[in-house]
Structure 1
Amino acid sequence: MAEPKDENFLDDIDEAEAETYEVEVEEIDDDAAEVDALKAERDELKDKWMRALADAENARKRADKQRREAENYGGAKLSRDILPVYDNLKRAVEAAGEKTEENAALIEGLELTMRELLNTFRKHGIEPIAPEVGDKFDPNEHEAMFEAPVPGTKAGEIIQVSAEGFMLHDRLLRPAQVGVSSFTG
């Protein structure tokens, strides 16, 4: 092939050669377009895969949290329903009075039953809230059943405990029912 006479050597190339070059350029352009399309499709599929992976991980974490909560707090309704049994046993022990020869076995049986019930509660994460007279009222753990001005006490001090409260792990199952002083003198 001869040296091009002017700066535009394509003018010197015969038509057949020019067509060959054009076909090759078109094929390269087509290949490049196809590569770009495949890269875009790959990136889109990778993005979808990453999102699906993240969704699966979030679903696993959610299911694990729900399982733990069901394990820890699933029995809350049953626990609340059993609390009156504890209250009645406690009242029965208090009503029995002092131990005598006649009632010693009865009182011992009630106390043993109450201890066993408390052990079962603890085994399942239920702990009593047992405020004492003179403790400060805590609205997160106590329910004020009444308020009365009692000399010698401070406002917000517990003056009577009507019923113990209970926690289920870190959640309030039932607040302790208390009377609170309103005395400000």
Structure 2
Amino acid sequence: MKVRTSRRKARHVRVPAFSPVPMRRRTDGWTPARQAAFLGALAETGSVIEAARRVGMARETAYRLRRRPGAGSFVTAWDRAASQGDRPAQGDGSRKRKVTAEERAQRALFGLLKVRIYRGRHVATERKADNSALLSYLAQLDRFARAGGSDGTRLHTFAPGFVSTGCEL
């Protein structure tokens, strides 16, 4: 007689990789490492107030960061981290967000930040290369070269007005 044991699928808290919000370089502000730690704490607690407190920032500044231009990837990661308790752990295939040229440039140059959570706690943040952004940029350069862009015109769609984020962890 075969004995069946019911195994429940472990619920792992997942925070998607994200591009940090472009900010001026300040040690007391929302650095890329602090943004990642905030998302990790948000996934742990489900509370914006508690997550902001854990990283030494105010709730109001977290919402201000969310409204900044170029924060699309951060907002998507925030929404998924905040709703961890509301839905079962499934694949990320529900909704895809369109990536702007500026965000693609940031991803190609600096990569993404990946928040690592172990046993319900934020333990690390690592930088992850975004190969798809690099490949799309190379394809864009190829299209530009085939169209006869060697007449001295500049390829301006990759990074118009791009601001360096100073993404050191």
Task: Give the TM-score taking structure 1 as reference length.
Answer: 0.26
Whose relative contact order is higher, 1 or 2, with alpha carbons under 8 Å and at least 6 apart? 2
Larger radius of gyration: 1
More helix by share: 1
Task: Give the TM-score taking structure 2 as reference length.
Answer: 0.27
